[in-house]
Amino acid sequence: MKPNKGFRKLVLDNLQLSAEQRKLLPAGFQRIGHVVILNLRPEIIPIASDIADILMKRYKYIRTVCLKEDSVQGELREPRVKWLAGERETVTTHTENGCRFRLDVTKIMLSKGNLSERARIPPLVKPGEVIADLFAGIGYFSIPIAVHSKARRIYSIEINPASFRFLNENIHLNKSRARITPILGDCREVLMGDVADRVLMGYLPKTYEYLPAAFEALKPEGGIIHYHDTFHKDELWEKPIDLLDTRGFRAGYTLKKIHHKAIVKEFSPNVFHVVVDAEFSGK
């Protein structure tokens, strides 16, 4: 949760909290359009509605407050978020990196921790490239690439029907229909052909299970895979690179170069969401 200036002071000035609650009070909240999402420890949840009321009185841009109940669930990456206060309209428009995204915060996740990663990719795309976005969601990566690069074609694959509906809406909203081809389905089953210069794998965890699909999408002469996954701190960076090398070899590709490797954010204690940009030479 991103720190918000004055959040803790605002809550402490208006509510009587126990010593334990004061210690566990988060640094801030997540804002998505007109919606604020609170991520609270169990000890704080009994006063969640009170915090929501305080925020709505203080910040005029907040029209809806929701509570995050659990982490993203299942293969469809569905969040568990419930309404707390304000308007019951949970469909909102989020603006980021010069792009607009429509989404329903109770059905679709939006991780602010990936903001820098979503901004990093478009400048890497060369004119005329073909992109395969295997986990397109609502267009987190596909839309910025279409808006800020000269990619020739972006194949945006998404399995979740709710996300796919907003993906199409966001393609229209950002005037990207000419470059993006949205595909509803499991990337492991979509027969797109080996057409991609660059493959995006923005999914967690156990992303390695989808590497065969990534290599199926890659051009015969090779290209770059942006591989996201989770690894324990003791596994960095040998395990992810060895995994890419081995899986690439099985698919008939040779790991040529690691262009970039970085920790995106902490996923759980001592386990990190990482990204590796790996270039492969062809079959």
Sheet strands (E) in the chain: 30-32, 35-38, 64-73, 78-86, 91-96, 99-104, 130-133, 153-158, 180-184, 198-201, 222-232, 254-268, 271-281
CA–CA dist 71, 192 (Å, integer): 31
Residues 74 and 138 in one domain: no
**Residue 206 · residue 243 · CB < 8 Å:** no
Give the lowest-confidence range in 170-174, 211-215, 223-227, 265-269.
265-269
Residues 162 and 78 in one domain: no
CA–CA dist 217, 95 (Å, integer): 30
Coil, strand, or helix at residue 179?
A: coil
* Number of domain units in the chain: 2
**Residue 279 · residue 223 · CB < 8 Å:** yes
Cβ neighbour number for residue 69 with a 10 Å cutoff: 12
What pLDDT sits at residue 73? 53
For β-strands 153-158 and 91-96, DSSP reports them as unpaired
What pLDDT sits at residue 1? 42
What pLDDT sits at residue 113? 65
Residues 57 and 126 in one domain: no
For β-strands 198-201 and 130-133, DSSP reports them as parallel
CATH number at residue 31: 3.30.300.110
Residues 43 and 125 in one domain: no
Q: 94 lies in a domain?
A: no
Residue range(s) defining the domain that contains residue 84: 7-89
Task: List the end-to-end C-alpha distance of the chain, in Å, as a whole number.
Answer: 44
Q: Which of 146, 165, 49 lies closest to 102 in space, CA to CA?
A: 165
**Residue 237 · residue 261 · CB < 8 Å:** yes
Spell out the long-range contacts of 205-208 with Cβ–Cβ below 8 A and sequence spacing 24 or more: 205/229, 205/230, 205/267, 206/230, 208/243, 208/247
Domain boundary among 89, 105, 136: 89
Q: 205 lies in a domain?
A: yes
The burial of 214, by beta-carbon neighbours within 10 Å (0-12 exposed, 13-18 middle, 19 or more buried), is given as buried
Residues 127 and 254 in one domain: yes
Q: 50 lies in a domain?
A: yes
pLDDT at 282 over 90: no
**Residue 263 · residue 238 · CB < 8 Å:** no
Residues 203 and 126 in one domain: yes
What pLDDT sits at residue 77? 63
Hunting for tokens 């992303």 — which residue is that? Answer: 207
Q: 103 lies in a domain?
A: no
Helix (H) or strand (E) holding 250: helix 238-250
CA–CA dist 132, 26 (Å, integer): 37
Q: Confidence class of residue 234 from pLDDT cuts 50, 70 and 90?
A: very high
CA–CA dist 202, 144 (Å, integer): 14
Average pLDDT over residues 23-49: 93
For residue range 90-124, what is the model confidence (pLDDT) as tens digits?
999 999 999 999 999 998 888 776 888 999 999 99
Average pLDDT over residues 206-230: 97
For residue range 235-274, what is the model confidence (pLDDT) as tens digits?
999 999 999 999 999 999 999 999 999 999 998 899 999 9
